[in-house]
């Protein structure tokens, strides 16, 4: 199962969406920080009715050897993650991120947000989601975009804008409120580093460019085709505080993992189970409500991805030890 040199073979399986990719790749990279790995990222197709609960054969990218550890996230990964245990005859240690909404015993380990409220011997609960934010990546992004960021005088506030989801909606009224707050801040010599997501409504992107096109202390990134390489990590690294909309577990977790004060701007809708995440981040002093003003306070980075990686390795080696003792 191991390659020469003692490297672990790690597969990550997702549907290719950025938010899902960040979770599986972030966990794999955290494992790679602790010991050498050979990794392969596999994009699973959207499952049809025939493959929703089982996969008949491996994907073309799933050529051997079978991995030591497989990390999956999202509905598309599920049939392949559950089948992988059978194909590898139980040798691959399978780790599913988020609530799989199927029997937990189908996986060696399930790592889920605390707000999913899962419990079991093979469940590890974390605050938020695993992610790719590390000190090294932040430093590298800060160096890459140093010229652009340093043009913007401090204090600097990153503004990470999500959008519409199953639970939340970024309305025209709320976007106007947020933009007015941002205009006030920029008028008070606060530089703004604004980034939108794929879920941000088009009218919000247009309004941001229209309102801030003449502002020298505002940098807006909305589209890789128009705006170039994504400076997301540089925004997190260069900010004194970060405004994040309330719709995204990933964005809130990223900001907290960057070790910056987070000001949450609430969108319309019902938080449901995500209110537990908001409460936990506020309890740990990562998040305060955004009321229109710049506010900072001391923050230590959230390190849940590292903790999850340590737990994967602990359980992986314990399983190997148990198997060896039974031979």
Cβ neighbors of 280 (< 8 A, separation 6 or more) are 114, 115, 127
In 3D space, the residue among 106, 35, 1 whose CA is nearest the CA of residue 312 turns out to be 35
- Please calculate the CA angle 69-70-76 and round it to the nearest 5 degrees: 175
Q: How confident is the model at residue 52 (pLDDT cuts 50, 70, 90)?
A: low
Beta strands at 191-196 and 241-245: parallel, antiparallel or unpaired = unpaired
Write the CA distances from 256 to 10, 89, 94, 220, 271, integer angstroms.
27, 39, 27, 21, 19
pLDDT of residue 273: 84
| Residue 55: predicted pLDDT | 84
Q: How many CB atoms lie within 10 A of CB 214?
A: 7
Q: How many CB atoms lie within 10 A of CB 1?
A: 14
How many CB atoms are closer than 10 A to CB 93? 26
CATH of domain 135-289: 3.40.50.2000
Please state which of the ranges 53-67, 90-104, 130-144 shows the lowest mean pLDDT.
53-67
Question: CB atoms < 10 A from the CB of 15, how many?
Answer: 17
pLDDT of 4 higher than 50? no
> Quick one: DSSP state of residue 151?
T
Domain 8-127+304-326 classification at class level: alpha beta
Contacts for 150 with CB less than 8 Å, ≥ 6 apart:
none
Angstrom distance (rounded) from CA 97 to CA 290:
30
pLDDT the model gives residue 223: 85
Q: Is the pLDDT of residue 49 over 70?
A: no
The model carries a pTM of: 0.92
Q: Is the pLDDT of residue 2 over 60?
A: no
Dihedral (CA of 230, 234, 240, 245) sign: positive
On the question of pLDDT at 5 being above 90, the answer is: no
pLDDT surpasses 90 at 53: no
pLDDT of 154-209, one tens digit each?
999 999 999 988 889 999 999 999 999 999 999 999 999 999 999 999 999 999 99
At residue 51, the pLDDT reads 58
Question: Same CATH fold, 135-289 and 8-127+304-326?
Answer: yes
**Mean residue pLDDT across the chain:** 93
pLDDT at 327 over 80: no
Residue 266, pLDDT > 80, answer yes
Reported confidence tier of residue 225, pLDDT bands at 50, 70, 90 = confident
pLDDT of res. 48: 67
Q: Which of 201, 197, 224, 222 is nearest to 212 (CA)?
A: 222
Strands 8-14 and 37-43 turn out to be: parallel
What is the band of 56 on the pLDDT scale with cuts at 50, 70, 90? confident
**Cis peptide bond N-terminal to 101, omega within 30:** no
CA distance 73 to 11: 12
Q: Where are the domains of the chain?
A: 8-127+304-326, 135-289
For residue 35, which of 274, 320, 323, 317 has the smallest C-alpha distance?
Answer: 317
């Amino acid at each position: 199962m191991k390659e020469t040199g003692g490297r672990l073979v790690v597969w990550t399986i997702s549907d290719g969406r950025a938010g899902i990719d960040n979770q599986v790749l972030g966990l794999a990279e955290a494992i790679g920080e602790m010991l050498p790995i050979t990794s392969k990222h596999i994009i699973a197709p959207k499952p049809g009715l025939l493959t929703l609960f089982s996969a008949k054969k491996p994907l073309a990218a799933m050529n051997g050897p079978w991995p030591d550890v497989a990390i999956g996230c999202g509905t598309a990964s599920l049939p392949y993650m559950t089948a992988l245990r059978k194909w590898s005859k139980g040798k691959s240690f399978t780790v599913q991120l988020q609530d799989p909404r199927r029997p937990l015993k189908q996986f060696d380990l399930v790592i889920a947000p605390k707000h999913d409220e899962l419990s079991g011997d093979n469940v590890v609960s974390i605050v938020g989601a695993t992610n790719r934010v590390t000190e090294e990546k932040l430093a590298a992004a800060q160096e890459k975009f140093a010229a652009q960021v340093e043009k913007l005088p401090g204090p600097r506030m990153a503004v990470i804008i999500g959008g519409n989801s199953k639970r939340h909606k970024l309305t025209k009224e709320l976007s106007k409120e947020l933009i007015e707050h941002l205009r006030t801040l920029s008028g008070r010599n606060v530089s703004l580093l604004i980034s939108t997501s794929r879920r941000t409504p088009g009218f919000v992107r247009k309004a941001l460019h229209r309102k801030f096109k003449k502002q020298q202390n505002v940098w807006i990134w909305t589209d890789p085709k128009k705006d170039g390489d994504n400076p997301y990590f540089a925004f997190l690294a260069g900010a004194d505080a970060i405004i994040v909309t309330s719709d995204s577990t990933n964005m809130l977790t990223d900001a907290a993992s960057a070790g910056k004060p987070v000001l949450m701007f609430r969108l319309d809708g019902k938080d449901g189970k995500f209110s537990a995440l908001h409460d936990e981040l506020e309890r740990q002093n990562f998040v305060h409500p955004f009321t229109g003003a710049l506010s900072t306070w001391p923050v230590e980075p959230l390190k849940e991805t590292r903790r999850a990686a340590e737990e994967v390795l602990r359980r992986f080696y314990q399983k190997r030890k148990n198997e060896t003792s039974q031979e």
